[in-house]
């Protein structure tokens, strides 16, 4: 199983996107619950 450089960038991009999405939900929840 070979993992190319573009795939590593893709994985990082996906992880960042999902982490940002969860941060958005946490932030929205924090604002609503305040």
Partner 1 sequence: MSRFKNREHSIEIISYYTGYIVLIVASTMIIPIITSLLFREWNPLLDFIISGGISLIVGAILIIIGMRAKESKSTVQWKHGFAIAALAWIILMILCAIPYRLSGNTKSFLDACFDVMSGFTTTGLALTQDLDHLSNGLNMWRHMLTFIGGQGMVVLALTFLAKEIGGAYKMYVGEGKDIELVPNVKGTARHIWKISMVYLIIGTIALWIAGMAIGLKPVSALLHAFYIFASSWSTGGFAPNTQNIMYYHSVLYETIAMVIFILGSFNFGLHYAIWQGKRREIIKNIEAQSFLLHPL
Where does this chain bind partner 1 (CB under 8 A)? Answer: 1, 3, 6-7, 9-11, 13-15, 17-19, 21-22, 24-25, 28
Task: For CA atoms 7, 12, 14, 17, give the dihedral sign.
Answer: negative
Q: Give the shortest CB-12-to-partner 1 separation in angstroms.
A: 10
Q: Give the shortest CB-5-to-partner 1 separation in angstroms.
A: 10
Other C-beta atoms lying within 10 Å of the C-beta of residue 4: 8
Radius of gyration of the chain (CA): 15
Q: 1 or 33, CB closer to partner 1?
A: 1
């Amino acid at each position: 199983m070979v993992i190319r450089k573009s795939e590593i960038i893709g994985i990082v991009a996906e992880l960042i996107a999902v982490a940002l999405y969860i941060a958005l939900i946490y932030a929205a929840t924090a604002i609503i619950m305040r």
